[in-house]
Structures are given as C-alpha cells and as structure tokens.
Structure 1
Amino acid sequence: MKRALLAERLAALQAAFDASFADPARTRAEEPARALAVRAGDRRLLVRIEELAAVEPCRRIVPLAGGPPGLLGLVGLRGRLAAAYDLAALVSGRRRAGVDAAAAGPAPRWLLVCAEHPDIALAIDEIEGHASVPLEGARAAAGEREGAGELVTEAVEVDGGPRGLLRVAAVAAAVLRRAQRGAERPKEER
C-alpha cells in the first residue's frame, strides 16, 4: 500500500514539474524594487538599489577648480578615482555651501556609486532607511518645478509622505553631458 501511495505522489510531482514549463516565466520585475531612502540637502529621495554599484562612506574629496556645476571633486574609491557630485545641487540646482570642515556647510556623509558609470559618485547627506517601491502607485513627480526635471520623474508614497524616485542613469547622463560641454569650451572661457 505504501508503494502505491509513493508512486502516486511521485507521478503527481512529475506532472507538476512538467506543467511548470508550460506556465509563463516569472520575472523579478513583478516584485517591488528595493530602494534606499536618502536625504540630499533638503530633498528626500528614493534610489533603486539595482542602479547602484556601491554605497561608500564619504572620504576626503579633493576639489577641482573650474569643474561643471555640482562637481565637488575627486575621491578615491577602492583604488580608483571617481568624480564626486553633489546630488542636492544636481537635483535642486543650488550649490552646497562647502565640502570640508573649513568650509561653511556640512560635508556629505555617503557616496552612491553609479552602477552604469562607477567613475561617478553621488554625494548625499544621509541614508534614512530601506524601502520597497511598489510596481503600481508611482505617480508623476511634482519635483520638475524645482529643477529635478529628468532626474526625478516619479514620486512614491513611503512612510506617509511622497518621495521622489531618482533615476541614477539619468543623473549620470546629465553629469556626462555637462562635463562634455565644459570640455568643448575654449580655455579662455573656463
């Protein structure tokens, strides 16, 4: 009797296994995206984790004279140099008051390293937590009027308030465009 029950169970498992190949494939896109809740200046944003190569404590940033807007300088990250940009300045269009203890403003505490361009790091003030970004429920961001434009196109309700959803690839593209425009200017204009 036990053998018959075991054979039945085995046949049912085989049938379920075979039937699973007939079902449409499930993707990770059906799951909510994981994100970091961050603060950059006065902006509270969400950053999708899959858009980041790393999150690093902010080390000493060496300022560069005549760089594009938002560029804080160069920083060493795991044996490589990266251009550190002030995310608050990129999103709001306002420069940070200072980046070190001798300057008037507070230095950023964290660097978000872009996955597509690991030579670009975004300086932020604080990591406020972890969040899940639902697939449904994102709405057009109101941040466009504040200069965020293409960088923050959606807002998500998290912890009772809206947070802009940062598009890291768009930030990197904007940074690269600005750097290219700066490189094309004649020396006397810089």
Structure 2
Amino acid sequence: MKRALLAERLAALQAAFDASFAEPARTRAEEPARALAIRAGDRRLLVRVEELAAVEPCRRIVPLAGGPPGLLGLVGLRGRLAAAYDLAALVSGRPRAGVDAAAGPAPRWLLVCAEHPDVALAIDEIEGHASISVEGARSAAGEREGAGELVTEAVEVDGGPRGLLRVAAVAAAILRRAQRGAERPKEDR
C-alpha cells in the first residue's frame, strides 16, 4: 500500500514538473519592483532600489566654488570621492529657497547611483518602501513642472501619486552637463 501511494505521488510530482514547462514564462516585469519612497525638497518621489548602489547617511560635504547648479560639493563614501548633488534642485530645475551648499540645512541621506557610483543624490528623507508594478505606472506628464526626463511616470502609493525617479537619467544629465562645462573655452568660465 505504501509503495502504491508513493508511486502515485511521484507520478503526480513528475506531471506537475512537466506541465510547468508548458506554461508561458514569467517575466520580471510581472513582479513588483522594490522602491524607496523619498522626499527631496517639496517633492515626494519613488526610486527603484535596483537603480541604487547604496543609501548612505549624509556626511560632511565639502563645497566646490563655481560648480554647476545643484552641485553641493564632494563627499567621501567608503574610501572614494563622489560628487553630491541636491536632488530637489535637479528635479525642479532651481535651488530650494534658503538652502545652499554653505548655509542651509544639510540633507540627511545620499542615494549612490548604481551606474555611476561617483554620483550621489542628496535627499531630505526616506519615508518608507513600496512595491510597485509596471501596470500601475502612468505618464507623469503634467504632474509637476521641471522634472522633464527625470520623472516620466507616476505610481499610486498610499492613496496618492508619486513620481518615479529615473536615477540613470539623473546621472546621465549630470554627466552631460559636466561634459559641456569641460568643453567650454577657459576664457568663458
């Protein structure tokens, strides 16, 4: 009796195993992405966790004179230097009122970009985490002014929309701006 029951169970397991190959493959897009809910200035955003190399407490930022808009300065992260940028200024296109690299309140956290670990985005607060799905995302056009290519989608989280920040786009915009500055003749600087 035990042998027959065991053989029957083995046959059922084999059938289930074989049937699993006949099902359509699941893609990662179907799985919800993990995201951090953050605040940068007056903007409440989401950042996909896989787009970050690290999240670090904000240490002392050494200001640089004559840097581009949004650059707070240099910060040491795990034995390396990174350029720290004010995410609120980058997303809005203007510095926050009353805050500059030398005076105003210091940001609390640094988001280190996965694709460019020498770029860190300074934010005010990590408000929590969320699971987001691609199906739940919608165009962020008209959501808020100034975000442009950096925030292209909005996701409903906790009863309200949050812009989904594209960290790679932020880093790419920073590097393009730095490259343009490096190409200018010295007399223009």
* TM bucket, shorter chain: over 0.9
Specify every segment of 5 or more residues in structure 2 that has no aligned partner in the other structure, as ranges. Answer: none
Q: After TM superposition, give the deviation of residue 23 of structure 1 in Å.
A: 2.5
1:156 deviates by 1.1
- Evaluate the alpha carbon distance shift between residue 97 and residue 186 of structure 1 in structure 2; reply closer, same or farther with a 3 A threshold: farther
Note the alpha carbon deviations across 1:85-123, whole angstroms, 9 max, x for none: 1100000012246778x9442110000000111111000
SS state at 1:131 partner: strand
Moved more, 21-30 or 179-188: 21-30
- Residues 145 and 2 (structure 1), Cα distance of their counterparts in 2 relative to 1, 3 Å cut: closer
Equivalent pair of 2:40/2:123 in contact (CA under 8 Å): yes
Corresponding position: 1:147 with 2:163: no
Report the TM-score when normalising by structure 1: 0.92
Is the CA contact (8 Å cut-off) linking 1:143 and 1:152 kept in structure 2? no
Q: Distance in 1 between matches of 2:69 and 2:29?
A: 35
CA distance in 2 between partners of 1:91 and 1:112 (Å)? 14
Residue 63 of structure 2 contacts residue 102 of structure 2 at CA under 8 Å; is this kept in 1? no
Shift of 1:127: 0.4
Identity in percent? 94
CA RMSD of aligned residues (A): 1.9
**Residues 32-41 or 9-18, more deviating:** 9-18
1:19, CA displacement in angstroms?
2.5
Q: Give the direction of change, closer, same or farther, for the CA distance of 1:85–1:108 in structure 2 (3 Å limit).
A: same
Which shifted more, 16-25 or 125-134? 16-25
Aligned residues of 2:30 and 2:133 also touching (Cα < 8 A): no
Cα deviation for residue 164 of structure 1 reads 0.6
The 1:143/1:169 distance shift into structure 2, 3 A limit, reads farther
Size of the aligned set, in residue pairs, is 189
Distance in 1 separating the partners of 2:59 and 2:53: 17
How many Å separate the matches in 2 of 1:144 and 1:150? 13
Q: Deviations over 1:55-109 (max 9, x none)?
A: 0000011111122211111111011111111100000012246778x94421100
Q: Where does structure 1 lack aligned partners over 5 or more consecutive residues?
A: none
Structure 1 residues 156 and 143, CA gap change in structure 2 (3 angstroms): same
Instruction: Report which stretch shifted further, 153-162 or 102-111.
Output: 102-111
Runs of 4+ off more than 6 Å = none
Instruction: Report if aligned partners of 1:97, 1:105 keep a CA contact under 8 Å in 2.
Output: no
